Chain A
């Protein structure tokens, strides 16, 4: 949800359309359009939802936090103020009240809006890379590490070059010199 605002952290969107002298009406219209699409953060709307139990409320909250507000930069339904987000929250709420399970609700939303609406991509062949790729990479990394460790174990001790030895002596002498002074 943060994102528009997070964007702001390091880059406020540049309003290229901003032109001085543009009639105020058009300007404010354009601005509000821009703001709606790119700056919908830093505020939230709360509808009044009532629940039978705290568990149900927690479930609802968890559900909407895992769903993406489709028109926002990177905000969850839980945090967004956009109109579409409000509609979707209402929809999720109604479905929940109608006794539908989390899975049914998520299925309904993904058929309607695609996987994009889910912050946690579903596990299916096209997302295998996403879910398993990192572990394969880490496995490869670990294999390299083990190889490096085994090689290190049998590696000869580092030999200092004469030049290194000279400089080392210089450094140590200097440190001792300093230590004696203090």
Chain B
């Protein structure tokens, strides 16, 4: 009964989506509506309640699916395929998005949540803008709901009901992976709001600084979620897969990275559009592409086309549906763009040396990164499709391409925020930054000494670039704090700078931390495969690993071999570690659960391999310096985004009459 209720809720959500996609939009265009606030108010006013209704019915549908999982209702095919009575309760909930159908449901739920958030926190926006944005979101929802109902219904029953379900993929039975997809989807889907604002602006024909200001906090919030989502995925891969890597340039990883790269370009381009009114049509294009790449990522992952061009044929219905949907969304929005964008005035003159130029450089580099990732991900498919032979494009290619461009980005990142809008004097800029530059050169020289670099080419470069970002941003902050005199003046200056300024500095420091982390761990990590008997000791990177043996340790739905290690630094024992190897009762490959002693400057990582007889085990030991800085950098970037969004500037109401209810626009 409950699954049918969920099914019905999905259908009702579709009906609402259809109304939501049509009435508010038509209402906003009725009469002489475009941009003047006239139009059919009652129709436009339907937008908000519809957005809430959409969200409500999808919550009901989602709750029904959760209930089916908690009750282990194996007559629901999807539940039988992804759950099991032995599965621990938290994983029964996360199993809801453990497969194709459920992740789609999560996707539309998240989108409805964004829609409801737009409805709730847009009191200071003109009604016709809200109506159009919510209509565009409704259109996307129609596509996804049709897709679910016709090809991927999570509530499908099958009889007779099996006595037991297949287990959730053991890889997914993990905290990191339980929260990774929701975060990622919040980001992916969040760009649909930026997209909807862009389309609404194109429909209305008014593209100005106000549009950028409204769209900016939403875009930043989506970007923050995506940043956290990707970092979570990387962290999960690091500790769960047992090979100690944090990024493999796998197509599925790339699918999430592309929207992030364009999204990063977008939030910077929006800054220019908001502050200076320049880059308008470019910003629109980025908003369209950020969401299009989210959809493309979904298509790549869902259709099976990544495995091989031929895999696409194994489930052509789903793949074809997404492909057509993709064409409609991207083609339609680009056509709208081509029609409207030429009318956009490209205001905002600026000189070669200016903040605008630097941000344009940022955009060029981020778009270049995106093109690289897209190209590298699709190249094997293109080669196969055209009969040019089967090739693999893996980390050596991606690393080389990224390393060729990344230093330019880092150098530019130290200059851009110091430059003035519109026009800057090169002499002034040099005068401001020369100390930071000189200090970075000193760091470069010192870290290039064999003692520090160990002869690795990239070590001094990475460290010096990190230092350059630190010093240049320190300079920028200092310059912003010396406008007024005395301690009180200093405090006043400290407060005078908006939160978005501190947000920017924090996020950029995140980049510095990330660069240093990647550089250090890539060049200085030590790993070794060893065979150890109980009582053996092995030395690695100055640490002594003592193996005390392994024993059976049963879990709720698996049987584990658990190794016991003591790790010594000299004579001092620093930690005890228990790496596991689990065999899940649901079957499948054994899983390794690496044991990690995490630290700010180094991780010690042990992964249990095979039992090779007589209590001897094959093991993989790692010493990973600064690996935490990679995720710490991502956290700082996300924090920067949150700080920027909390800037009261975004809560400025549109007009006096609505001022009392303004103030929440950015708090989403």
What residues of A have a CB within 8 angstroms of the CB of B416 in the complex?
A: none
What residues of B have a CB within 8 angstroms of the CB of A156 in the complex?
A: 349
What residues of A have a CB within 8 angstroms of the CB of B607 in the complex?
A: 44
With the chains together, A173 CA to B391 CA distance in Å?
Answer: 62
Do A9 and B350 touch (CB < 8 A)? no
Do B248 and A3 touch (CB < 8 A)? yes
A54 → B minimal CB distance (Å): 9
Do A49 and B588 touch (CB < 8 A)? no
With an 8 A cutoff between CB atoms, is B149 at the interface?
no
Do B371 and A134 touch (CB < 8 A)? yes
What residues of A have a CB within 8 angstroms of the CB of B653 in the complex?
A: 174, 178
Interface residues of B toward A: which range?
Answer: 35 or more
Closest B residue to A130 by CB, please name it.
Answer: B379
Q: Looking at chain B's contact residues, is the secondary structure mostly helix, strand, loop, or mixed?
A: mixed
Do B177 and A46 touch (CB < 8 A)? no
Most chain A beta-carbon contacts within 10 A, residue among B367, B391, B609: B391
A145 → B minimal CB distance (Å): 5
Do B396 and A119 touch (CB < 8 A)? yes
- Residues facing A in B294-334 (CB within 8 A) are 301-302, 307, 315
With the chains together, A121 CA to B379 CA distance in Å?
Answer: 11
Closest B residue to A5 by CB, please name it.
Answer: B171
A82 → B minimal CB distance (Å): 10
Given A3-B250, A12-B169, A73-B307, A152-B397 contact (CB < 8 Å): no
Most chain A beta-carbon contacts within 10 A, residue among B245, B255, B351: B245
Closest B residue to A117 by CB, please name it.
Answer: B392
With an 8 A cutoff between CB atoms, is A159 at the interface?
yes
Do B364 and A142 touch (CB < 8 A)? yes
Given A2-B243, A115-B389, A42-B171 contact (CB < 8 Å): yes
Partner of B103, one of A10, A31, A44, A137: A10
With the chains together, A78 CA to B527 CA distance in Å?
Answer: 12
Do B394 and A28 touch (CB < 8 A)? no
With an 8 A cutoff between CB atoms, is A127 at the interface?
yes
Kindly specify which of B84-92, B233-241, B628-636 makes contact with the partner chain.
B233-241
What residues of A have a CB within 8 angstroms of the CB of B250 in the complex?
A: 2-3, 6, 74
What residues of B have a CB within 8 angstroms of the CB of A78 in the complex?
A: 243
Do A152 and B242 touch (CB < 8 A)? no
With the chains together, A6 CA to B395 CA distance in Å?
Answer: 15
Total inter-chain residue pairs, C-beta < 8 Å: 241
Closest B residue to A120 by CB, please name it.
Answer: B396
What residues of B have a CB within 8 angstroms of the CB of A43 in the complex?
A: 242, 581, 589-592
Do B162 and A175 touch (CB < 8 A)? no
Given A12-B82, A12-B169, A155-B349, A42-B591 contact (CB < 8 Å): yes
With an 8 A cutoff between CB atoms, is B538 at the interface?
no
Do B166 and A18 touch (CB < 8 A)? yes
With the chains together, A120 CA to B392 CA distance in Å?
Answer: 7
B606 → A minimal CB distance (Å): 13
A153 → B minimal CB distance (Å): 6
With the chains together, A44 CA to B529 CA distance in Å?
Answer: 11
With an 8 A cutoff between CB atoms, is B575 at the interface?
no
B321 → A minimal CB distance (Å): 15
Q: Mark A123-162, 1 if CB is under 8 A from B, else 0.
A: 0001100100110011001100100111011111111000
A112 → B minimal CB distance (Å): 14
With the chains together, A14 CA to B278 CA distance in Å?
Answer: 47
Do A40 and B171 touch (CB < 8 A)? no
B326 → A minimal CB distance (Å): 17
With the chains together, A132 CA to B656 CA distance in Å?
Answer: 57
Do B396 and A39 touch (CB < 8 A)? no
Q: Taking A20-B80, A46-B619 as given, write out 12 further A-B residue pairs in contact, using a Cβ cutoff of 8 Å, ordered by the A residue number.
A: A2-B248, A35-B587, A35-B588, A44-B242, A74-B250, A74-B251, A79-B241, A115-B391, A119-B397, A134-B371, A156-B349, A157-B349
Nearest 3 pairs of A and B residues by beta carbon: A158-B347, A119-B394, A120-B396
* Contacts from A to B (Cβ < 8 Å): 1-3, 5-12, 14-16, 18, 20-21, 28, 31-32, 35, 39-49, 57, 61, 66, 68, 73-74, 76, 78-79, 81, 114-121, 126-127, 130, 133-134, 137-138, 141-142, 145, 148-150, 152-159, 164, 167, 170-171, 173-175, 177-178
What would 11 A/B residue contacts be, using CB atoms closer than 8 Å?
A5-B237, A9-B181, A20-B158, A40-B589, A43-B589, A44-B607, A46-B610, A119-B392, A134-B401, A158-B345, A158-B349
